[in-house]
Structures are given as structure tokens and as C-alpha cells.
Structure 1
Amino acid sequence: MAIYQESGCVQRRPWEVPFTAEPRMVARVRRAMRLHLSLWGLSELEDVAQICVSELVANVINHVGPGTPVTLAVSTDGAHLRIELTDPDARTMPTLLAPMPGTESGRGLMILDAMADRWGVISRADSKVVWCDLATGAEVPNEHPRSARIARAEMSIVQHGSAQRPPSEKGSPLSVAVAEEAAIDLIADVLHWLSAQGCDPDEALDRAQMHYEAELEEAG
């Protein structure tokens, strides 16, 4: 909860709290969010963060069920505030849909999508994590600049991810979570190709990691 000092710069310790997803808990979680952001010096994000956490909890209540045990985790890398809500239902995946006129359901993710800079879902064997990022407006010196290599990788990921999507979703932007899965799938395909050519996939991964770390070091 407290701000602490590390390596000469102020860091904000991540915090998490388990609770039961029930309507009466929403106000308490909002107050906890406001308190922590005030302590972290991020009061300007209080309103948006409270709306986002409310929608995340409401999504669990509406689609998984009241009384579901969840865990809220909040952290920051300086440039973004990340809010994560973990629940034990790995089968029910949040989907961003346009609600029918006159209906109230289906609007939670639309609000989250509009408020957050990015959001996504991490699927696990026995749970899922719905997360969102809010930009703090701070400049982070160690943030990697966008390069031609990153642009090429992004193009490959988008093409690979789009090829795996159903026709109804083609042409729409990939969410960060979908793009991450597409990137992992693309790497797996490359490893299969290397193996088919008689190459050692593990050695290739090691060499790629070495190249990556050397380029980061060179970039400073």
C-alpha cells in the first residue's frame, strides 16, 4: 500500500485484495481504489479507475454469478495503471458486443472499452483475469521506442491473428489479449517450422533471446 524507495526512484508497491463479488461490495472496492490512488499520487485517475473497477465487478456478478470469489490487483509501471480482476470461471469469456436498443445488459464492456486505454482477458486453466490499463500521463525513460522491427512484428501478429478469427470478426482491430495469443501462436508455428527443417528450436529460442537482450543493451 505504501510508497517506497528503490534504486533512487519512487516505486508504488502493487496491492491486491480478495473479496466476494456482490453488489454491496462495489462501493467498498471503489473507496479502496480511491484511497490507494491518492496515496500513489494518482488522484487524477480516481474517477475513471473507480468506473472501470465497478464494471469489472458488475461483469462477474452478471455473467458468473453473485457471491463469486474474486481478487482485485492494482499495479503501475509508471506509464500505466493496471487493474486486474481474477475470477474462477475460465469458461465464461467477456465479449464486447453492441447491445440492442433499449437493453441495459452488454454495456459494461463498452464502458470499459471507452474508458480504458486498453483491456483484455488472460485465460488460465482454472480461472481468468480481466484487466485494463489507464495511462498516467507520465513519461517512462525505459519504455521501448517503436522501431521498424516492432512494426514488422506487429504486422505479422495482426496478419496471423486475423487469419485465425471467424469471418464475422475479420477486419476489426485485435485486442491486446488476442494479439498476445496470436504472437504466442506465431512463435509456436516458427518453432514447428524450424524443427521440420532439422533445426533445434531450443537453440533458436536461446539465440533469439540473446539477440533481443543485446539490442536492448545497445539501445541503452
Structure 2
Amino acid sequence: MRIYPPEEFRYRRFRPAVKVARATARDVAHRWGLDDLADDLASAIGELVANAVIHGQAARGSHVAVTYRPIRHGLRVEVRDWATGTPQIHELADAERDFAESGRGLAMVDALSHRWGVIPRVIGKSVWCELKRRR
């Protein structure tokens, strides 16, 4: 099995970056021979980058960095932004669940990944998740 070096991509903080980040995630999965993770990876990256772009309160012109690292039986991805705040899974009440337009992103990341977490930084934070192959 080939070992790949980590890869990092930077995106401007604006909504079209989410689509580009999802496409890049699929590309990385395919190039690394992790085709079975491509859909889940693209979905997780889409949610994490969208959170950073839409909800992050960062300086104008700042970026979001996405780093992919191979791990045993899968990969780890880290989305770094320079915004304040700590992302958390929001529990939606039954009445809200069917009509809420947001608030499901981290719950989806939690469901798709083996594990995930948040690393506070001096400026900003990193949200990471690990996806494992289903063999």
C-alpha cells in the first residue's frame, strides 16, 4: 500500500468554495485509492467548509485551510479557520427537526466519520474528522 504525503488546500471564505472543496475531496479520495470513502468525505468536507465559511466570524479576506492525511485504514481531514467560536452539535427539538434550515452539519459529520473533534488554536480553530474504510 502506498503512503501519501499530507495535502493542504486553501479556499477563500465565500460560499462557492464549498462546491470546490467537495470536488477536491472526491479527487483526493480517488487519487489515494479510497474510492469507497469519496462520497462520505465529500459530504463531511462540504459541511465543515460550509460551517467555516457561513458561521465563522473571521477577518475579511481570510481563508479556510483543508488538510488531508492518510491514516491506517482511511484518512484524517482537518478544516482550519481563523474565526472565533467552538462548533457544537445542536440538538433540534422534534418540532424543529422537519423545518430547520441549518443545524444538522456537525450531526452529519458525526454520523459519517469514525470520530471527530475540535482543536482550539491561538487564533481560530481546527475541526477534524477521521473516515475509515468499511473492510
Question: How far 1:67 sits from its partner (Å)?
Answer: 5.6
Which of 83, 90, 94 is matched with 1:97 structurally?
90
Q: CA RMSD in A?
A: 1.8
Q: Structure 1 vs Structure 2: percent identity of aligned residues?
A: 33
Greater share of helix: 1
> Structure 1 segments of 4 or more deviating over 3 A?
65-68
1:84 correspondence with 2:81: no
- Bigger Rg, structure 1 or 2: 1
Report the count of equivalent residues: 129
Residues of 2 paired with 1:32 and 1:97: CA distance?
27
1:109 correspondence with 2:129: no
Match of 1:47 in 2: 39
**Higher RCO (CA 8 Å, separation ≥ 6 residues):** 2
1:71 correspondence with 2:65: yes
Contact 1:30 1:54 in 2 (8 A): yes
User: Structure 1: any 5+ residue segments left out of the alignment?
Assistant: 1-8, 139-220
TM-score, with length taken from structure 2 = 0.86
User: Structure 2: any 5+ residue segments left out of the alignment?
Assistant: none
Q: Which amino acid aligns with 1:110?
A: A
Match of 2:17 in 1: 25
Contact 1:63 1:92 in 2 (8 A): no
Match of 1:211 in 2: none
Residues of 1 paired with 2:7 and 2:134: CA distance?
21
Residues of 1 paired with 2:110 and 2:13: CA distance?
21
Residues of 2 paired with 1:132 and 1:30: CA distance?
15
Q: Which amino acid aligns with 2:55?
A: H
